Structure 1
């Protein structure tokens, strides 16, 4: 598990929770499997760019916003 994957997982959990949807709902909206969402959120998998776009659209945000938050988390870890 890389720090980047872990940070992305944290961001996705945050946005999914704010959207008040389950992993299953996010997976359905993005057209991916629920276990894949779980693996991404736990930092075990790194999504492709296409999947990141699908997930961000499903969360009513943009990939750049998600990645900006990932960068912020990483900056907080290594200032």
Structure 2
């Protein structure tokens, strides 16, 4: 399965923000935001396509805005 570029970029940025904010494991972060670890893993690998509700939940858990979470995605991504 080919991963769309914008989802790959989103996932890499999510992983980077998670780690930068001290959430070393996907499991602990997933618990913090009320999601399953496998779902967070799928997001970080670009395999899952998050809804707006999920983006907001992730942003709150990372203490960033939803726009910050989406910032690396450009119109050409």
Q: Same fold (TM over 0.5)?
A: yes
SS at match of 2:46: coil
Q: Which runs of 4+ in 1 moved over 4 A?
A: none
Match of 2:4 among 2, 5, 24: 2
Structure 1: gaps (5+ residues)? 75-79
TM-score by length of 1: 0.85
Q: What whole-Å deviation, never above 9, does each CA across 1:32-67 have from its counterpart, x for those lacking one?
A: 100000000001001111011001110110110111
Question: Are the counterparts in 2 of residues 7 and 73 from structure 1 also a CA contact under 8 Å?
Answer: no
SS at match of 1:70: coil
TM-score by length of 2: 0.87
The 1:63–1:73 alpha-carbon spacing in structure 2 relative to 1, beyond 3 Å, is farther
Structure 2: gaps (5+ residues)? none
Taking the TM superposition and a 5 Å limit, the aligned residue runs for 1:38-77 are 38-71=41-74, 74=77
